Amino acid sequence: MSVESVAAFLKQNSKEIEILEFEDTSTVPKAAEALGVTPGEIAKSLLFKVKDNFIMILMAGDKRLDNKKFKEIFHGKAKMPEAEEVSEATGHPVGGVCPFGLKQPIPIYLDYSLQEYERVFPAAGAPNSAIKLKVKELEELTKGQWVDVIQS
């Protein structure tokens, strides 16, 4: 199961971080309510397909993608794969997609919007899970590259 792959990833990276489980945190509003935080503190993980390659972008939960910025950086249109393709590529279901314990290597990008917060809450492999991380820890664990892809 997906949550187990996240737990194994955290253990391999010597991180003792509790995986928080709730009734349902599959959307930013639900996650923010369950965690008692603002929607911006939810680090939403978005999987895109550019040509034949996947990339994952994490951004503050209250932000939206700017397609023009995306195209300038990644030299292609932002295409969201179907739910089945997301699960096949990441090993995580839609609503639980995160950059940890991935089924295959996927380049990770972190939008600067996350730097507004000290801590953020990405999903942890299931629609009812999340973990609490300092933004610096998120950067270290994902080896993510910082980009600016949100609407101004």
Query: C-alpha distances in angstroms, 68 versus 18, 73, 78, 107, 112?
Result: 37, 9, 9, 20, 16
Domain assignment of residue 152, yes or no? no
Q: In this structure, what CATH number is given to the domain that contains residue 59?
A: 3.90.960.10
pLDDT digits (tens, 9 = 90+) for 55-73: 999 999 999 999 999 999 9
pLDDT digits (tens, 9 = 90+) for 121-141: 999 999 999 999 999 999 999
Domain assignment of residue 46, yes or no? yes
**Burial letters for 82-107: b for 16+ Cβ neighbours within 10 Å, e otherwise?**
eeeebbebbbbbbbbbbbbbbeeebb
Domain of 32? 2-147
Residue 4 and residue 11 in contact, taking contact as beta carbons nearer than 8 Å: no
> pTM for this one?
0.94
**Cα–Cα distance between 45 and 7 in angstroms, integer?**
17
In the chain, how many domains are there?
1
Residue 58 and residue 144 in contact, taking contact as beta carbons nearer than 8 Å: yes
pLDDT, residue 89, reads 95
Name the more confident of 16 and 134.
134
**Cα–Cα distance between 103 and 5 in angstroms, integer?**
9
